[in-house]
């Protein structure tokens, strides 16, 4: 459903190890908002929620709720570091458009 690049896996592992409270994995969601109609949201989670799909990659658990699953099927997540910005980048084949910030889609 979702693939993570090696850089994305490393960034998530760093976040999990630095978390102030224990986290079992992280959640990716698509929510209404952003400059293109939908926005990606990510965060650490201590446990999966009912109805979540759980994707495991290199020891990382990704939790995806039922409403988000159709929006992210086939998506690849990368982590980039640049002079002007650093962060997660989403390559989503389901998005008909995206804004220049890379954090929202339509």
| CATH for 24 | 2.60.300.12
Q: Quick: pLDDT tens for 43-84.
A: 999 999 999 999 999 999 999 999 999 999 999 999 999 888
**Whole-structure pTM value:** 0.83
Classify residue 24: in a domain, yes or no.
yes
Range of the domain at 39: 3-91
Please provide the DSSP assignment of 42-72 as one string.
EEEESSPPTT-EEEEETTEEEEE-TTTHHHH
- pLDDT at residue 105 tops 70: no
Q: Calculate ∠ Cα 1-28-59, nearest 5°.
A: 70
Q: Quick: pLDDT tens for 2-26.
A: 999 999 999 999 999 999 988 999 9
Amino acid 66: pLDDT: 95
Classify residue 102: in a domain, yes or no.
no
* Local structure of 22: helix, strand or coil: coil
Classify residue 69: in a domain, yes or no.
yes
In the chain, the number of structural domains is 1
| Close Cβ partners of 58 (under 8 Å, ≥ 6 residues apart) | 4, 6, 9
Strands 2-4 and 75-81 come out as: parallel
Please provide the DSSP assignment of 79-97 as one string.
EEE-SS-EEEEEE-TT-S-
Classify residue 104: in a domain, yes or no.
no
- CA dihedral (29, 65, 10, 105) in degrees, to 10, reads -30
């Amino acid at each position: 459903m979702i693939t993570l690049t090696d850089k994305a896996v490393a960034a998530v592992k760093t976040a999990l190890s630095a978390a102030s409270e224990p986290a079992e994995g992280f959640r990716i969601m698509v929510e209404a908002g952003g400059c293109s109609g939908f926005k990606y949201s990510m965060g650490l989670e201590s446990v999966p929620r009912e109805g979540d799909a759980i994707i495991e990659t290199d020891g990382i658990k990704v939790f995806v709720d039922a409403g988000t699953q159709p929006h992210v099927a086939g998506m690849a997540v990368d982590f980039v570091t640049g002079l002007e910005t650093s962060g997660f980048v989403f390559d989503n084949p389901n998005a008909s458009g995206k804004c220049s910030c890379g954090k929202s889609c339509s």
